[in-house]
Structure 1
Amino acid sequence: MDSLYLYNPSHALPAVFAVLVGMSMLLHIYQNFRYRFWRVTFWMFWAALVFMTGWILRCVSSYYPANRNIYIAATVFIYAGPPIFSAAEYNVLARLMYYLPMHAPFNPGRALLFFIYLGSAVESLTAAGASLYATSRGGADKNALLTGGTLISVSLALQAAVECIFISLVALMHYRCARAKTLPYNVRSLCFMLYGTSTFVLLRCIARAIESFSTETTTTCNAVCRLVLFNEWYLYVFEAAPMVLYTYWINLVHPGRLLPTDKHRYLDPNGVTERMGPMWVDQRSTREKLMDLLSLGGAMRGRITTREVFWLQPEKWEVASGGSFAEGTATNVDSAPEAHIRRARRTSTPWRKIRSTPSVV
């Protein structure tokens, strides 16, 4: 077979998108070091590296269109990038919940685990499906092609569902802040950024789902099937472009500029003051945690510890030094002379003593 593609693949477009993703990755690296935000946005770097590798391999594959190994590798890496990008969103939402504990629907740490578990399932299905799909492309193994397409379809549906849940949680946080009349600029900017980036992921999921279902019906290829399978621009418009815009949007509204690095730093219900609190502490047994990951059972029964509502006792928690992210006067950049003082204060804040004497209401 002369080519695994159903069209003449472009040499330039994959290189262009590889460069765009690479530039965005370098900017992410710079901002992560500058704002000391690697724990939250590490996945942006990893996803950009995977996605960029996919487009580099796609560029190489365009010169060797009959090489199955390069084609498989390019397909797998390109498919694998977007689910990892989504993991960065989940981290940002969890950090926003830590910052706004009074508006968080449940424990931010548990919310992050919930999304990471689902994201891992999406990534596994995507990798397996893309590998089978690319391996059987152009061959006689129609069963492998069908299985690969099915796995990809399931992964896309699952990722779309996760994104819808994610958007709903962001909207809930946004609504609660607005209702409480405590919606500072940094929170509003992050909410709009998460709405936009999630929309790009959903757009990509829908487009890829159309492609996947079309692939499964190649024996009776209709007009939609031909549009998807025989036109390369479809891939760049609905896969490459949305994810590149996604990465640059997060670079433009980098969470490290708008949220504190320290998870113990939270916004007081007055919407201005920031304090160093005890964060969230889950006192349940391991069995209870596994059975009710999001702590919904305890919340429905009204069993909430005082440490879970620590924001109702602001007099117990020290005011955070270095200004306020809500007012735009705080920064994660440790260039100020008092940086070492802030670090020392974080190791001696009152919440560390209070944590050893739990009480229940």
Structure 2
Amino acid sequence: MGSTDDQVSYYLYKPSHVLPAVFAVLVGISMLLHIFQNFYYRFWRITFFVSWGGALFTTGWILRCISSHHPGNMNLYIAQSVFIYLAPPVYSAAAYNLVGRLMNYAPMHAVLNPNRVLIFFVYVGAAVESITVAGAARTAAAGSDLNQYKSGGILIAAGLVLQSVVECLVVTIVVTFHRRVSRAGATPRNVKTVCYTLYGTSTFVLLRCVFRAVEAFETIGKVGCSENCGPVLSNEWYLYAFELGPMMIFTYWLNLLHPGRFLPREKKRFLDMDRSTERSGPGWMDRRSMWETVIDPFDLAGMRKGQPSHDEYWLRPEEWPVCENGSFADGTASNKNSGTKSSKRKAGEV
């Protein structure tokens, strides 16, 4: 390869100068909207990762815009590849956190310890991210080193397969939770909205994973190729249609149906068995150690014994004060209020 930008290009096509700039603006707008809503609903603890993922994704497309003008600059090419690969797993972490908050809100239907959902999935997500980014960096920097190019493609494929497995597990958990809520009676509108949101966002993440997996396997099969390397590698529009498109819909969906509108920010606030009243409880209390809950998140040992390892505090509603500032299930509560007010007297007290 030559030494100047005019003599060499790391792209297998002529990259667009305009599209990365346009979509950097659109992704940035979505990020700013989400930051505003996180402040508005004070929901940072749950959906921080959407803002962080947006910052990474916006940076990636800005770098791609610059790189398109200097296609022979290896550092710019690596940087834009890494940032664009980095963002989707971070976006997914927001969905994992949302699953945990949803099960804290209706703990009687929780599939696993809600407080361990984020820890379990974020650690797995961190592994996915590390593998994928390492593969993207190796592939982008491989140059004429065919072995490095191939090993990078293998790492990317492995990371994408792992992320797909994680997303399928998340969907399975949400489906199980949703079915438990439905079997107990009419599903509250806010719970239904959040469940459908999680179905949609996971579908878009899986779509993106499929695209990137096809690209990775095409990369492995076309090691050393410089032209006519297959439809995905040789056509830029695939990147916009199956990487950028799904992730943009993901972020704008969460802006239109921001979880801060439908779930309380306090994780100890839970829905009573009447599916309308909300109470301020003690939060999920697991009698096992943290490591036991991480190793056995579904409490299989407790299920086998017929004795769950957590306290079923929702069966003692009279012990927990009613939240007086409305109900998210009825659409009468809001995170915009100054705080959660609970009745001074416990239900049943004179």
Any residues of structure 2 matched to 1:86-235 within 5 Å, and which? 86-136=92-142, 139-219=143-223, 225-235=229-239
CA distance in 2, matches of 1:349, 1:173: 32
CA distance in 1, matches of 2:41, 2:75: 40
Which of 285, 289, 294 lines up with 2:289 in the alignment? 285
349 and 45 in structure 1: CA distance in 2 versus 1, 3 angstrom threshold: farther
CA distance in 2, matches of 1:303, 1:349: 32
CA distance in 2, matches of 1:102, 1:199: 26
Q: Given that residues 276 and 349 in structure 1 are in contact (C-alpha distance below 8 angstroms), is that contact kept between their aligned partners in structure 2? A: no
- Report SS of the residue matched to 2:22: helix
Q: How high is the TM-score relative to the length of structure 2?
A: 0.92
Number of positions where the alignment pairs a residue of Structure 1 with one of Structure 2: 340
Q: CA offset at residue 177 of structure 1?
A: 1.3
Which of 292, 310, 313 lines up with 1:310 in the alignment? 313
Give 2:247's aligned residue: 243
CA distance in 2, matches of 1:184, 1:32: 23
Give 2:327's aligned residue: 324
Q: CA offset at residue 75 of structure 1?
A: 0.2
Q: CA offset at residue 174 of structure 1?
A: 1.2
Q: Given that residues 120 and 294 in structure 2 are in contact (C-alpha distance below 8 angstroms), is that contact kept between their aligned partners in structure 1? A: no
1:8 paired with 2:8, answer no
Aligned residue identity for 1:178: S
The CA deviation string for residues 202-239 of structure 1, in whole angstroms up to 9 with x for no partner, is: 00000110000001111597x99521111100100000
Give 1:82's aligned residue: 88
195 and 349 in structure 1: CA distance in 2 versus 1, 3 angstrom threshold: farther
**4+ aligned runs moved over 6 Å, structure 1:** none
CA distance in 2, matches of 1:92, 1:181: 22
For structure 1, the residue ranges without an aligned partner over 5 or more in a row are 351-361
28 and 202 in structure 1: CA distance in 2 versus 1, 3 angstrom threshold: same
More helix by share: 1
Q: CA offset at residue 16 of structure 1?
A: 1.1
Which of 71, 77, 88 lines up with 1:65 in the alignment? 71
Q: CA offset at residue 292 of structure 1?
A: 2.4
Q: CA offset at residue 317 of structure 1?
A: 1.0
1:52 paired with 2:46, answer no
The CA deviation string for residues 56-100 of structure 1, in whole angstroms up to 9 with x for no partner, is: 000000000000000000000000000000000001110000001
Aligned residue identity for 1:134: A
303 and 349 in structure 1: CA distance in 2 versus 1, 3 angstrom threshold: farther
Give 1:333's aligned residue: 336
CA distance in 2, matches of 1:130, 1:70: 13
| Deviates further, 143-152 or 174-183 | 174-183
| Percent of pairs with identical residues | 54
1:264 paired with 2:268, answer yes
Q: How high is the TM-score relative to the length of structure 1?
A: 0.90
CA distance in 2, matches of 1:184, 1:163: 25
43 and 135 in structure 1: CA distance in 2 versus 1, 3 angstrom threshold: same
CA RMSD across the alignment? 2.1
| Deviates further, 312-321 or 258-267 | 312-321
Give 2:299's aligned residue: 295
Q: Given that residues 111 and 294 in structure 1 are in contact (C-alpha distance below 8 angstroms), is that contact kept between their aligned partners in structure 2? A: no
Q: Given that residues 182 and 269 in structure 1 are in contact (C-alpha distance below 8 angstroms), is that contact kept between their aligned partners in structure 2? A: no
CA distance in 2, matches of 1:286, 1:17: 42
CA distance in 1, matches of 2:223, 2:14: 21
Q: CA offset at residue 105 of structure 1?
A: 1.2
Q: Given that residues 281 and 308 in structure 1 are in contact (C-alpha distance below 8 angstroms), is that contact kept between their aligned partners in structure 2? A: yes
- Report SS of the residue matched to 1:328: coil
CA distance in 1, matches of 2:332, 2:287: 35
- Report SS of the residue matched to 1:266: strand
Q: Given that residues 37 and 261 in structure 1 are in contact (C-alpha distance below 8 angstroms), is that contact kept between their aligned partners in structure 2? A: yes
CA distance in 1, matches of 2:148, 2:98: 37
The CA deviation string for residues 238-289 of structure 1, in whole angstroms up to 9 with x for no partner, is: 0011100100001111000000010010011111111111111122235534
142 and 56 in structure 1: CA distance in 2 versus 1, 3 angstrom threshold: same
CA distance in 1, matches of 2:224, 2:68: 27
CA distance in 2, matches of 1:50, 1:291: 31
- Report SS of the residue matched to 1:318: coil
349 and 332 in structure 1: CA distance in 2 versus 1, 3 angstrom threshold: farther
CA distance in 2, matches of 1:212, 1:261: 39
Q: CA offset at residue 302 of structure 1?
A: 2.2
- Report SS of the residue matched to 1:319: coil
Q: Given that residues 110 and 293 in structure 1 are in contact (C-alpha distance below 8 angstroms), is that contact kept between their aligned partners in structure 2? A: yes
Give 1:357's aligned residue: none
